[in-house]
Amino acid sequence: MSTGKVLLGLLAGVATGALLGILFAPEKGCETRKKIAKKGKDYADDLTHKMNDFVEEMTEKFEAVVKKAKDSATSETKNANSGL
């Protein structure tokens, strides 16, 4: 069995155990549902921030590559025209 599958199984087991622990905790159901909803929102917000940071970083890198390509094309055009 590959290490990735073992790690994924372990993480799934931990998540399942945590969820069952919350569900069987001696609190009212509405309190438990609020906790689960809050955690879900926290995870979603965190993921949104990470995705926004990733997209921003990739956009900056893409723009830098485009600028470099345009500069290179302009330089090549100038060199070709100066040789005439």
d(CA 10, CA 6): 6
pLDDT tens across the length of the chain (84 residues): 677 788 888 888 888 888 787 777 777 778 878 888 888 888 888 889 999 999 999 999 999 999 999 888 888 777 777 655
Residue from 14, 17, 18 nearest 6 by CA: 14
pLDDT score, position 84: 54
pTM: 0.51
What distance separates the 2 farthest-apart alpha carbons in the chain? Answer: 86
Structural domain harbouring 47: 3-82
| Number of compact structural domains in the chain | 1
Residue type, 40: G
d(CA 74, CA 77): 5
pLDDT score, position 83: 58
Pair 32, 23: CB distance under 8 Å: yes
